[in-house]
Amino acid sequence: MQQKQDWDIIVRPHNSLFSINLREVWTYKDLIFLLVKRDITSVYKQTILGPLWMFIQPIFATLIYTFTFGQANLSTDGIPALLFYLIGQTFWNYFSECLNKTSVTFTANAAVFGKVYFPRLVMPFSVIISNLVKLGIQLLLLMIVFCYFYFSGSSMEIQWAYLSLIPFFIVLLGIFSLSLGILFSSLTTKYRDFTFLLGFAIQLLMFLSCVVFPASMFKGVTNKIMMCNPVASSLEAIKFILTGHGIFSMHYILGGIILTIVLFLFSLIVFNKTEKSFMDTV
């Protein structure tokens, strides 16, 4: 008998459901870092305003919302309209961009994935991290606007006790979008039908996520259904922490966390199953 060899890689057609190798992703941390750097630096190459575009987009969106929804006299929960829409915009943009970009992980990177192996999860992770960086920069804008209204005497109270929870909500939103994104990207490799679904689903989801109007506008069952959406409950909680206006409900937040974790694990399994042979069907 030959002595037993210690193989580094054994590849079989089917591995167990939970053979998700997060440690392998960790060995590729340099790649994640470089991809994030690429995402951030390459976007604004050959532009004159450069990263300023990160501010221009939310400013304009906020102005338009303030104008149109202001005309319609929609409630903003007592928060100054401009600030209300800017908060919504900033966090919603982060969520929707993470979702949009991670949902095309397989189709957009097919050329690279078809030639080189590395843990496929590296790609969606890097998307989330680069969007985190972008969010961090946009939070600067939010801070400036916030300080303006805060010191000009609007009726706002920062909930200092909860302030440290904001990063937690940012992570929660990131994981939630990552889970949805990789789930959709796995589903779209073979049957492209889901691409069309996601396209308008994101648009519609915005109206169910308390971005342009507060949850308090809805009463009773509608309100409850609305708050089951982790994006809505997170956004409401963030608004509450920053201004004292909004719904901060532990029930919904806990529910959101559980939903996110379950969805995350489920998506990982689907993603893991898909990544092995998606090249044949993409």
Partner 1 sequence: MSQVVIEVNNLGKQYRLGQVGKTTIVDDFKRWTHKIQGKEDPFLRIGEENDRSKKGNSDYVWALKDINFSIQQGEVLGIIGKNGAGKSTLLKILSRTTSPTVGEYKIKGRVASLLEVGTGFHPDLTGRENVFLNGAILGMTKTEIKKNFDAIIDFSGVERYIDTPVKRYSSGMYVRLAFAVAAYLESEILIVDEVLAVGDAEFKKKCLGKMSEVSKVGKTVLFVSHEINAIKELCNKGILLENGKLAVAGNIKHVIDRYVETAKQKLAKREWMAQERPGNDFAKIDFVKIVNIQRQENCVFTFEETVGIEVGYEILQNNLRVNICVAVYSNTGQLIFMSFPEKELVKTTAGSHSIICWFPKELLNIDWYTIRVNAHTFYPTNLIFDLIDVLQFEIISNENKIILTDYEDKISGVLKIDCKWELTSN
Among 61, 78, 190, 255, binds partner 1 (CB under 8 A): 190
The residue to which tokens 């440290």 are assigned: 164
Nearer to partner 1, 78 or 273 (CB): 273
Residues 268 and 20 sit within 8 Å (Cβ to Cβ): yes
Tokens of 172: 């929660």
Which H or E run includes 230?
Answer: helix 230-243
Q: CB of residue 202 vs partner 1: minimum separation in angstroms?
A: 25
Any residues with CB less than 8 A from the CB of 59 and at least 6 apart, and which? 141
> Residues touching partner 1: how many (CB under 8 A)?
36
The residue to which tokens 């919904």 are assigned: 252
Verify binding: residue 162, partner 1, rule CB under 8 A: no
Among 28, 55, 150, 162, binds partner 1 (CB under 8 A): 28
Tell me the C-alpha distance between 173 and 253, whole Å. 11
Verify binding: residue 37, partner 1, rule CB under 8 A: yes
Verify binding: residue 8, partner 1, rule CB under 8 A: yes
Q: CB of residue 31 vs partner 1: minimum separation in angstroms?
A: 4
Q: CB of residue 136 vs partner 1: minimum separation in angstroms?
A: 22
CB atoms inside a 10 Å sphere around CB 148: 13
Among 21, 38, 201, 251, binds partner 1 (CB under 8 A): 38
Verify binding: residue 224, partner 1, rule CB under 8 A: no
